[in-house]
Structure 1
């Protein structure tokens, strides 16, 4: 587990970092860097085989995200804070890894190097047509429901908790599950009404 305790003096804990977020976000960024920068770097290079530049890009993205979002959360202890920081870092690592993997799989070919006989034409199969129709219906159905319902459904689909959604949308959490269920029902109803 990556922790901040070994990197800073006892006074400079997560409480200090949180206190700098609003008044001096740059100082909060520096403290986060001192706490986690080298440890995150070692983890990315050793465990994920990232090169130096990619590792630092992920680290800076993580620290920027932490500075912009930390004030929305409360932490009971340093270990809770450490876990949250590490979890955020892991999410950025995974995103970068997926992105890099997709780029490596793509094969770039110059059109000038291909003769006309090598170019294949593709027939669109029925599965792709059905999928495209489904996506089109879903998009149209989303456009027909209220903006609040859209935001609630899309945030929930992205894996945000009800508590996080309540904070992001500035609404109370006490009836959010019910609102989500009703929004989903309205979306399904609109989806089923659309005929393509």
Structure 2
């Protein structure tokens, strides 16, 4: 089953209405079109509305979640670096755009510091639009994915809007993927 496949909801599942960010419940028997299957979450078209469901609910649409970079890396001898965090963040997607948030240019800064209780990761990021209702959802996804590393005890995600996001912040690969080159 790929993006673009029509499927039926198999059991009740909570989703997030895009772009408002409101929680909704999808009922069994509802026909949906899978429009995006990236980063361990799914974007569905439900009667003309976009809805994001978490990877943990993949079975509701007959899917399995793909492994993340953090899977199997929770050994105590793994060093948590900025590069490792950025690799993990490349599994976070804006549910409306098929480009990860790093290549999209939403990550402004990542700082990894070792503290007594464990690793602290500070992340400054932005959104493609300041009023985006999905901002808290994307920020929570960032936090959850970085906390998947067992040595990370604190993830501090700060949304910043200066400088404002613009298309020049995207990588060349992202611009190419979106047809902007």
Report the TM-score range of the alignment, normalised by the length of the smaller protein. under 0.3
TM-score, with length taken from structure 2: 0.23
Q: Higher Cα Rg: structure 1 or 2?
A: 1
Q: TM-score, normalised by structure 1?
A: 0.22
In proportion to residue count, which structure has more helix?
Answer: 1
